[in-house]
Amino acid sequence: MQPDISAAELSALAGGIHGNPFAVLGPQRQGSRRIIRTLQPQARSVHLLDARGAVLTELKPEHPDGVFVAVMPPRIRRYRFRITLYSGDTYDCEDPYRFPSGLGELDLHLLREGTHERIYEELGAHCIKLSGVAGTRFSVWAPNAKRVSVIGSFNDWDGRRHAMRLHPGNGIWEIFIPDVGPGDQYKFELLDAGGKLLPLKSDPYAQYFEGPPGNAAVVYRSNHRWRDSGWMQSRSSEPRLDQPFAVYEVHLGSWQRVPEDDNRYFSYRELADKLVAYVKDMGYTHIELLPVTEHPFDGSWGYQPIGLYAPTWRFGSPDDFRYLVDCCHQKGIGVLLDWVPAHFPRDEHGLSRFDGTALYEHEDPRKGAHADWGTLIFNYGRNEVCNYLLGSALYWVNEFHIDGIRVDAVASMLYLDYSREDGEWLPNEHGGNEHLEAVGFIRRLNELIHREGAVTLAEESTAWPGVSRPVYSGGLGFTYKWNMGWMNDTLSYMSEDPVHRKYHHDKMTFGLVYAFNENFMLPLSHDEVVHGKGSLLGKMPGDEWQRFANLRAYYGIMYGHPGKKLLFMGGEFAQSAEWSHDRSLDWHLLQYPLHAGIQALVRDLNALYRSCPALYEVDFDGSGFSWL
């Protein structure tokens, strides 16, 4: 047979460095006839079968490293291969290179623009039927790669066997692999522009992962049937600021554990039983979860994510997490999610230099590296990066029915000189320190999330104006802003010996000077009970009785002060020790009357708060508060 490709191209194909395998594999036109070529490095021989399984012809070796070729019989459209291994075993399989692209022109256009609001339905791994054949379509953005392959147990983790198709206009690589389905593990193998093999990469859009050390993505298809239609229909297109909003902040891995079973975590489904019932009994309106997006390091508490589209494997499957949210809604409890678009870790299997270039981050460390956390900063000036982040937020709201997202470390996004000395940062186009691209991203994020009937919360610790003011009036558009000033001032006041407090009353009153400048939430969060800060109880002065009395008074002040409420787990029963992510809260303390009394007080305060409109209806207007 006269070859239709050069010896060099054939060697590149066999060696796994060919950048356009769809141009030479599968059915190809050769003059007046069609040929069929396949790359099967594991095969001793390959036969072509018709749709009924009858042998049509044997493919001849074209290269000793597993390239086989044959002339296609006329009028054959559907076919399969019969692979005979060197062991003598045989199996039949489809040819992935006979299938057309599964991405439509509109999808490719929106992906190119970075405006695809349901990008999670196109990129990543999706179980579909193409041309009547079941399999999984894989897609990934890697515009500077020479070659991208899907590897997994289904191809012996061999990057030569499923090299992907490039859509040159937008850098999307894609392939449909028949017979791959839910539960199959996979990674991406990439060659950079120079042909160098990169560290294996996890799928940025993966919906599920295995745990370390493998860190492979897992093909997943949801089978959850939602039962929260009433709750979802009640979500307004505009956030209701005149409703009670009392939040219980939770780290799922340390709320409770199972000591009799090697101190393991509760699963999502166990938490749906125990945590939801507890929060309902305590009278909270919402649960806020520290990040459940996939992350490699337990000690990051989820704040250094690798997979922004995947609930962490630590507590179960994505449908298990859906079940937890569903149970919350059926009990009348909203679910908020901590979400981290400010930075990402440098783990080599993650987003860092994904295609051999600074793809998701900036090349210049003055814009792309975060010195405080040793992490990388997203490049908000790239449409595709913003689309990745916005798609993630919409994915959680739409696919998991999350009622709101709390954006972590907003201040680090807003300022180009955040935690940097002179010479360590680059000014914007106007010479200022405002990160204009991040501002644009944040505004778009808030508009999209509000449109879905969900709320947004900002952890923002500076005096940036209009954080919770509408985008149309020049604000950033968040629903609520954490009131870090109130928290710092009042905790400082409470830590003073009562004898000295008369010199510090301003710390209790100053918050009312600016209380109505933003839609504030009063946060007593996880950040106040870690890193040597001790517990809330430990911040109170005096002997044991006085510390408990001070804490009771402080909670009373919090619930009477304008602003929505947030309390980190353990604070509701006066946890004595500083919080640790490695162990359960000290629930045994509830056997002691002082701790049980704090819990009863918080339960009563939540009940009073929800039943008394004066405590929540006009939180953000001066007319809603007056001193007695």
Indicate which residue of 459, 460, 528, 619 is catalytic.
459
Catalytic entry in 107, 122, 361, 408: 408
Which residues is 58 bridged to in the sheet? 47
179: annotated active-site residue: no
Rounded distance between C-alpha atoms, residue 535 and residue 526, angstroms: 10
Task: Report residue 308 as tokens.
Answer: 């922004």
Alpha carbon 376 to its chain centroid, in Å, reads 16
| Residue closest to 562 by CA, chosen among 524, 606, 522 | 522
**163 DSSP 8-state letter:** B
Q: DSSP letter at 433? A: S
Distance CA 604, CA 588 (A): 21
- Residue 4 annotated among the catalytic residues of the structure: no
Chain position carrying tokens 């049509």: 56
Cα angle, residue 53 at apex, residues 52 and 56 outer, rounded to 5°: 105
456, 241 in Cβ contact below 8 A?
no
Three-class secondary structure of residue 565 per DSSP: strand
Burial label, 596 (beta-carbon count in 10 A; 0-12, 13-18, 19+): middle
Q: Which residues pair with 63 in a beta bridge?
A: 67
Please report the DSSP string for 468-536 in residue order: TS-GGGTS---SEEE-HHHHHHHHHHHHS-GGGGGG-THHHHTHHHHTTSS-EEEEE-GGGGSTT---H
DSSP assignment letter at 267: P
The count of other CB atoms within 10 Å of the CB of residue 75 is 5
For residue 311, what is the enclosing H or E element? Answer: strand 307-311
**158 C-beta neighbours (distance < 10 Å), count:** 16
Encoded tokens for 131: 């041309």
Q: How far apart are CA 135 and CA 363, in angstroms?
A: 37
Helices (H), 173-265: 229-234
Q: What is the rounded distance in angstroms from the CA atom of residue 299 to the CA atom of residue 203?
A: 22
Nearest by Cα to 585 from 540, 627, 536, 625: 536
SS3 421: coil
423's tokens: 């010479």
CB of 538 closer than 8 Å to CB of 578:
yes
Are 402 and 335 contacting, i.e. CB atoms less than 8 angstroms apart? Answer: yes
The C-alpha angle with vertex 326 and arms to 322 and 328, in degrees rounded to 5, equals 120
Measure the CA–CA gap between 412 and 426, rounded to whole angstroms: 14
How many Å apart are CA 403 and CA 454, to the nearest integer?
5
Residues carrying an active site annotation: 408, 459
